Amino acid sequence: MENDRLKCKKHPSIRKLARIFECLILLGLAITGGCGPLYGIFVAPLTPPKTVDAEFDISDKQLLIWVDLAVAEDEQSTVLRREIAEELGTLLKANKAIAGIVDYEKVMRFRRQHDDAMTWPIQKLGQELGGDYVLYVLVNQLDTRHEIGQDFFEGHLAGACKLIESSTGQRVWPVSQAQRPFTIAKDFVEEAGPTYERRLIKDMSKDLAAQVGPCFYKHKVEGE
């Protein structure tokens, strides 16, 4: 048995064999001009995830998430505002991207007390509500129902966001552009039932959080 173990040590390691196999696959792709399915099956599993740093660190700060809607206010848009704030807050807290977050109920009370809050400077909102930074989200498109009928659904959510420092009023994220756009689309669904619209809004809000949230904490992405 001891001799068998000694013999095994003479063979290449599994890691080395995997690397050789990956090189052979890459060589084959180069010869054939590339092949998406082959890459996905053989190469991608061997490529380690890439670690990406936060674009801006607010891990020791209190955050206010403020959602404004450039669309008609109705029951669904009110639901959307809450869902976006809660999904973003949950994701950021779970990944320790923030020290704390301004409670959404406090934000709602503030909105009810100040009908003109949407016209306030973002800096002032942060100062009034106790946020070191304000993650400002502006939704300029919200569609949940398809035009062919009331029982047909197809989700579209679009807008942009930015991070403002409350003490200075300066935009600190994104650095290279005035705001970070986002677009969410959900497939067409027929006769999904009376509660589907709310679930669709929640799903789109969750997708938005998945797009924006990782900008503020270290995370892994699939290697290229």
What is the pLDDT confidence band of residue 7, given thresholds at 50, 70 and 90? very low
For 117-128, what is each residue's pLDDT tens digit? 989 999 999 999
Q: How far, in Å, CA of 9 to CA of 2, rounded?
A: 11
CATH architecture under which domain 58-221 falls: 3-Layer(aba) Sandwich (3.40)
What is the pLDDT confidence band of residue 72, given thresholds at 50, 70 and 90? confident
User: Average pLDDT, stretch 121-146?
Assistant: 94
Rounded to 5, what percent of the chain is helix, strand, coil? 45, 25, 30
Q: How far, in Å, CA of 177 to CA of 6, rounded?
A: 60
Domain ranges across the chain:
2-47, 58-221
pLDDT at 27: 58
H helix and E strand count, the chain: 7, 9
User: Does residue 157 contact residue 151 with C-beta atoms inside 8 Å?
Assistant: no
Q: Which of 77 and 129 is assigned the larger pLDDT?
A: 129
Burial of 92 (C-beta count, 10 Å sphere; 0-12/13-18/19+): buried
For 159-183, what is each residue's pLDDT tens digit? 999 999 999 999 999 998 999 999 9
> What does DSSP assign to residue 48?
P
**Where is mean pLDDT largest: 33-37, 184-188, 195-199, 210-214?**
210-214
User: Does residue 99 contact residue 217 with C-beta atoms inside 8 Å?
Assistant: no
Residue 75 phi, psi (nearest 5) = -60, -40
User: Does residue 137 contact residue 184 with C-beta atoms inside 8 Å?
Assistant: no
Q: What sign does the dihedral 95-104-192-190 (CA atoms) show?
A: negative
What is the pLDDT confidence band of residue 3, given thresholds at 50, 70 and 90? very low
What is the pLDDT confidence band of residue 75, given thresholds at 50, 70 and 90? confident
Distances (CA, A) of 165 to 89, 99, 125, 203, 207: 17, 15, 11, 29, 25
Strand-pair category, 58-69 with 189-190: unpaired
Lowest mean pLDDT among 18-27, 84-93, 112-121, 155-164: 18-27
User: Average pLDDT, stretch 45-50?
Assistant: 72
For 205-214, what is each residue's pLDDT tens digit? 999 999 999 9
Both tokens assigned to 159: 């807008």
Q: Smallest Cα–Cα separation from 135: which of 110, 159, 111?
A: 159
